[in-house]
Chains A and B, each alone.
Chain A
Amino acid sequence: MSLLAQSIINGLITGSIYALVAAGYSLIYSTNNFMHFAHGISVVAAGYMVYWLFTLAGTPFYVTCIITVILSALFGLAMYRLIYLPLQRKGASNVILLIASIGILTFFQNVIQIAFGSGVKLIGYIEVAKGITFAGITMTLLQIVILVISFIIFIMLYQFMQRTKLGRNMRAVSNNKELASIVGINHIRVSDFSFLIGSGLAGVAGILVALEQNLSPLMGTNLMIKGFTGAVIGGINYVPGSIVGSFLLGLAENLGILVLPSGYKDAIAFSMLFLFLLFKPNGILGKKEGRFDK
């Protein structure tokens, strides 16, 4: 019994990490319609920023967090303005942007390795200790915090997309770019904001991942694959959907290996990705207006 309960909790913890990555990713995807794989490196860069400012330079933790989120947001904006937008203006298609994003990911992965070395880095803000046990379930305080934060982000993003003018514009652009520009929405401005907010979220994700796990230059690829899978399962065009999808993915992975050998953990995740695309390509909460067989 406690095995099942603990696995559900494990699934939620994993899912919350995926969700943090997926939220920003799908926000950017929904307005820009290309796969920004370099989102993974925004998360990693934020993690290393925390390591640099907090662990090495000794900046107070909360100041570090604020600076990290701001710099992440600007980092995302810079990627859009310096790489993606010029490419789009030259008529590059979405697959070219995909390759460019992989190029950016590779570039910064290696820059980070040159700057910080290939070893694993720990933040050391929170002492490693046995988690709090309650009714046979063990989890640490930080994990509870991460879960709560991802729920808060989920609600805030939902409200933002529904209530604010910018959010509505984003949804408009995501549904129909041409129509949106006809009614006077500047889609470049909307993209600017989606990169700012999405990468800011990557900053939050980076801080939490750095605290919960540890840092290595290559972690971005892994995070990105899982965040992406979660986003697709939930509906890549719709941010709250991608968060739900990430939690579902985390649960499926962790509950699945209760039955199957644990080597199949990734196979479960990817089979889910595949099956969802076959039978529910717009994801669990995704909008019908996706670009599916128009």
Chain B
Amino acid sequence: MRTGKFGKVAIVMLIILGILFTAGCTDTEEVTEDTGEDTITVGIMGPYTGGAAVYGNAAKDGAMLAFNEANLSNVEVIVEDTKSETKEAATAMNKMVSVDNVQAVVGDLISAATLAAAPIAEQNQVVMISPASTSTDVSDAGDYIFRTIPGDDGQGIFAAQTMSDAGYTKLALLYTNDQYGNGLATIITEEFTSLGGEIVAEETYEAGSSDMRTQLTKIKDANPEVVYIVSNTPDSSVALLRQVTEIGIEADIYGSEGLKVGSILELGDSVEGITITSVSPESEEFKQKYMDEYGEEPPAFAAQAYDAATAIIMAIEDGATNGEEIKDKLYEMEFDGASGHIKFDENGDVEGGYVLVEVQDGAFVTLEE
């Protein structure tokens, strides 16, 4: 049974190694504090694996772009994956706070993950700026919790008003059965009915699923004038839009910003004319920079992440050295970012405007007001 012994020894070693590794990091933290070096560590966290990985990577790229541009000698950036899971978000936040001694974090994207990590950031006086969490609960998550994207209520009201203004009265909703989908759908329903419209169908699907035919059949049967889609997993978005065409839904298609991912454009003619309600578009300047760097159009949330990073950079350039000072500076600052005008209110939320983006000739085109 020599392999047996060896196995046990190896496993005990592994645990000791684990304790040492995580403990070893404490020392470095103390060293930085002792020498009083003014290196400020900033974290980026988000889902780089799991269902929301596409958005996570886009946000990471956007934020990295800002940090690389600013190239501050006293700022160090670290990245943590939260696997699209709440527990991982809490772990990542804890790790960054106590091991890397971060003062500010760009992330998380998923509202659930942001809400799980927020109490830890709040307690340790670390600033957290989410580029994508739109749940209304995030507003009340704490003083240190900011976001560069307006909450669901903003987009929901905008979408309902836009569709109502365009003369539609019969709306069908199709949304992911998650925080984002439910949050947005509730607000659209309220607003659209108060504007005199009618919700003729309301269907949901599981995040990541790729078969919505019967939901779409029910929608088709309800005969709406317009369908509003809330999707935040690209595989579902692509499957769904394909099935809209195949089932032959004649109604006009609107969608939330989650639909703004490059892969839907590959569906060709069938996505022509889809209208997306998107938070104010990225500036041309940012678009160009992003394309130069990564060779593709910035996906949803890249510009918001860029702005979140920019806000932190500005605070640091302004002399902030720790989370508390960064927080104070954030409440005071105001600037025109890649995603529009950024000014945080007392909840750490931004106003943000919305625009309509339409798919024209295989590209996302922002419609002029």
Contact = CB atoms under 8 A, between A and B. Distances in A.
A120 B237 CA distance: 10
B98 interface: no
A7 B211 contact: no
A214 B208 CA distance: 12
Contacts of B239: 213-214
B247 A219 contact: no
Interface string A132-163: 01000011100000000000000000000000
Contacts of B213: 10, 13-14, 254
Interface in A250-293: 253-255, 257-258, 261-263, 265-266
B177 A216 contact: no
B211 A266 contact: no
Contacts of A216: 234-235
Contact of B238 (A118, A129, A214): A214
B342 interface: no
Contacts of B208: 218-219, 222
B273 interface: no
B209 interface: yes
A128 interface: yes
B287 to A, nearest CB: 19
Contact of B266 (A17, A117, A122): A122
B246 A10 contact: no
A6 interface: yes
A262 B217 CA distance: 12
Interface residues of B, number: 41
B235 A7 contact: no
Nearest to B296: A119
A164 B237 CA distance: 45
- Majority SS at the chain B contact face: helix
A113 interface: yes
B235 to A, nearest CB: 4
B245 A130 contact: yes
Interface string B245-261: 11110000000000001
Contact of A124 (B56, B218, B266, B269): B266
Contact of B205 (A14, A17, A121, A265): A265
B148 interface: no
B54 A128 contact: no
A257 B215 CA distance: 8
A223 to B, nearest CB: 9
A138 B247 CA distance: 6
Given A119-B54, A131-B247, A218-B208, A10 B177 contact: no
A176 interface: no
A261 B54 contact: no
Given A6-B217, A113-B49, A218-B51, A131 B210 contact: no
Contacts of B211: 10, 13-14, 17, 213
B247 A262 contact: no
Contacts of B263: 119-122, 214
A125 to B, nearest CB: 12
A118 B55 CA distance: 9
Interface in B251-281: 261-263, 266-270
Nearest to A254: B214
Interface of B: 48-51, 53-54, 56-57, 177, 203-206, 208-211, 213-215, 217-218, 221, 234-235, 237-239, 242, 245-248, 261-263, 266-270
Given A3-B218, A122-B266, A128-B269, 7 more contacts: A7-B214, A127-B268, A262-B203, A262-B205, A262-B218, A265-B205, A265-B209
17 contacts: A3-B218, A6-B214, A10-B211, A10-B213, A10-B214, A110-B49, A122-B266, A128-B268, A129-B270, A130-B247, A138-B246, A213-B242, A214-B235, A218-B51, A218-B235, A222-B208, A262-B204
